[in-house]
Amino acid sequence: MDKRISEIARDVSACYANVADKDKIAFIWLLEGARKFAESLVAKIDFKVEVYSIRASSYKDLHVSSGKVEISGELPDLSGKRVLLIDDILDTGLTAKTLIAELKSRGASEVKTCFLLNKISKNRGSVKPDFQGFEIPDEYVVGFGMDSAGFYRDLPYICVLQ
């Protein structure tokens, strides 16, 4: 896990290397699932960056999307900022598409995405990650920040919940 996150951090750092004004870059991650991944990633980035967190979810029960994304949390003025949206898992793409639109409506000049996991069979290309850790099959996973009803979030690895 650490090796792959280091590789992603290297790629993210290279992506923003030519941005003269690093104050115009903001990383925004989704609570709670992406916290562990995002904190590990940000610690390996080779420049200082503004970081913010928000909550967003389309899941009302454990495994089924409601089809509507609820967003909560305060965001700063993003006018002219290049934003990297960080999440634990790209599933159907609904949350990511909704958040990309919301961040752009708040003035972000660019929104790139970074996911630890990508369920390519469910997403079917509706959102193409700019950065990703691993592609996985359509299974319910927990660990490394991801939970099931509050359990398993503290696992240092990712596993399929049976």
79-93: per-residue pLDDT in tens? 999 999 999 999 989
Q: What average pLDDT does the segment 141-154 reach?
A: 96
Q: What average pLDDT does the segment 33-48 reach?
A: 97
| Confidence (pLDDT) at 114 | 99
Could you tell me which residues come within 8 angstroms of residue 3 by beta carbon, excluding any fewer than 6 positions away? none
Whether residue 91 lies in the annotated active site: yes
Q: From residue 119, give the alpha-carbon distance in Å to each of 92, 110, 159.
A: 8, 24, 14
Question: Any idea which residue has 């793409």 for tokens?
Answer: 93
| Confidence (pLDDT) at 90 | 95
Element (H, E) at 114: strand 110-118
The predicted-structure confidence for 11-31, as pLDDT tens digits, reads as follows: 999 999 999 899 999 999 999
| Confidence (pLDDT) at 64 | 62
Flag whether pLDDT at 59 surpasses 80: no
Q: What average pLDDT does the segment 31-42 reach?
A: 97
- With a pLDDT cut of 70, the percent of the chain lying above it is 94
Domains of the chain: residue spans and CATH: 2-160 (3.40.50.2020)
| Confidence (pLDDT) at 66 | 66
| Confidence (pLDDT) at 21 | 92
> Which member of 61, 91, 147, 154 is catalytic?
91
Flag whether pLDDT at 102 surpasses 80: yes
The predicted-structure confidence for 65-77, as pLDDT tens digits, reads as follows: 667 888 988 888 9
